[in-house]
Homo-oligomer: A and B are copies of this chain.
């Protein structure tokens, strides 16, 4: 039984792009458990773009982290000690825990995971928050119908690659934007009808002329910025835009400006909706079940980019903004 723990705390709030100064790895003692508490050892830790928002002071949908306090992440781990009747040593669990080797938790926010049913890591990816985000964002906000053209930005990421595949299952023409040749190949592998490398052209409108010759019915937006600006010029009547993320803007400070979109949605009667996957919590089980079936049937495949070692978690996080990951970016903290 370990007696010391290593965990990341928010060292200071970043201005613009976070860097190594943003994070501090601190060593602490693991306290004795009180009644009801559980000690979880992190196996995989998920780093996600939305975490940038929690580094910022002020209101958002996720509560900001305090400077000096541990940062949280979706984690898959195993129970190594328990004073809680609900959890036993050796149980595999998932929950919102610390960026740490170990977390002491009350146990009520943990969910069981079954390593025999699906690989442990998938509970942070295609069967976890990113998969559910793709599922509800595309189907409930994007409302695709067969024959629609669906455009996905950040298409090779954990959410985007799942959206691409669900849109294919739904009978749509799928166009993905991604930032490297490897990612473009990956998108073609998973069934995208066209894929645009946004680092190889500035003229996204022209690229869309070829990739989406019948215009855009659904836009699943993970990115924002110039990709969105181009897609908005190609919207069909009654187009739906699901705003899932805006990674292009997370590191920008102050008022970010760009082409106005409200005048553009008037002639098209388009609908733009922001959504947060947690709003769909009552239906999470449905999503996990369907995603699990599609994965089991081979209709949805997934990739992971795994960084080894807790100490490299900041690099893994910062890599998201450089587009380094294909599929889900995880940090493996200890062996399964």
Contact = CB atoms under 8 A, between A and B. Distances in A.
- The secondary structure that dominates the A interface is mixed
Given A255-B259, A260-B258, A274 B279 contact: no
Indicate the size class of the contact surface on chain A: 20 to 34
Copies of this chain = 2
A255 B164 CA distance: 30
Contact of A266 (B245, B268, B270): B245
Interface string A79-107: 00000000000000000000000000000
A170 interface: no
Contacts of A259: 255-257
Residue from the set A59, A257, A266 with the largest chain B CB neighbour count within 10 Å: A266
B269 A279 contact: yes
B262 A272 contact: yes
Nearest to A254: B259
Contact of A265 (B243, B257, B279): B243
Interface string A131-156: 00000000000000000000000000
Contacts of A22: none
B257 A260 contact: yes
Interface string A265-284: 11111111111100100000
